[in-house]
Structure 1
């Protein structure tokens, strides 16, 4: 067996374990919390009072305009200087959540704004309140449009979690770095890590495509029976 293949097979369980214990949970938690933050931010941008609108616009401006790696460093290495100490995983979770929240807020704001005003008027005409119209009419329509860009954001987040290695989160990429430190085979290990990220992204892209097809069929069915 070639040396490079033997090394890949020996290191594969370690990399997969790191992905299962750290990469996947970090991705899922960050995206779920970021999606909630993005929805709240988008609703404030669209319907909130001016002081809150200015506050969330500033938040979005900061987190979309600065590198994610810098944000992680500020949270993990910077906050201790003002007395706020965070372990690596919570610091990464906060950083990714705030970053994802800023990006998803723009997506959600755009798709809510794309729903025709007639949908609001139709909802009000049958006696719905603002909350009912938003929950039953606007968000379901906006959600179908938001799936492709949100899916792309999720797939990007899977790859971006490798940045957590810089603040000592023992996720998949840092697991590869640790093996490199003992084997002195950076090319083999980093290629293997890249292949695993590529495989995961490919699976998620295939699932995204299937979901979009289903949503398009469902949307066509609704339009045909409207």
Structure 2
């Protein structure tokens, strides 16, 4: 678990408050980091605190500016998919983990995480790493903080399945590609179809989601729909 330290003073140069989400399957971690940030970092505001991936992306305050995310959760969505979804929504991602090995670090950074830090560090060090990421100082794949323990997640409550939008195979594939943060032109190239065809697939998918009461007009909303339908696994 992250240790608590009180010797860090907030950075005074932030012009705007950074909106933060904390995702960890241990509520004590979520509450502890949230409390530390509230007490010591007025330029950061924790707007989402959750132990469940779907609760994060369904939250009305998502997307946020910064996500502090546990590596291992008790669900089937891979860390790569979670990172890519948050990055596609415009968030900086810091993976905070008790799992310390080069393969996990490589997986996270290759998927787009901006930092990979250990839960054995005090919270001020975790926040310092987050601030570096917010400044654009992305972590190197060759080095980083190390943790020695492993972490197991609880499955958590069962989430009811949302209404089926009835996407075609092509529409589903277009959505899968688009929510990774690529452009419509890149979707077309990957699917080997014309730009207008790819655009039509995405429009039809959005329309179908809307018809069953699941808004998908914005990319962040489409990311939520994709996660709910298992496209990010």
TM-score scaled to structure 1, two decimals? 0.23
Structure 1 or 2: larger helix share? 1
Tell me: higher relative CO, structure 1 or 2? Use CA pairs within 8 A at least 6 residues apart.
1
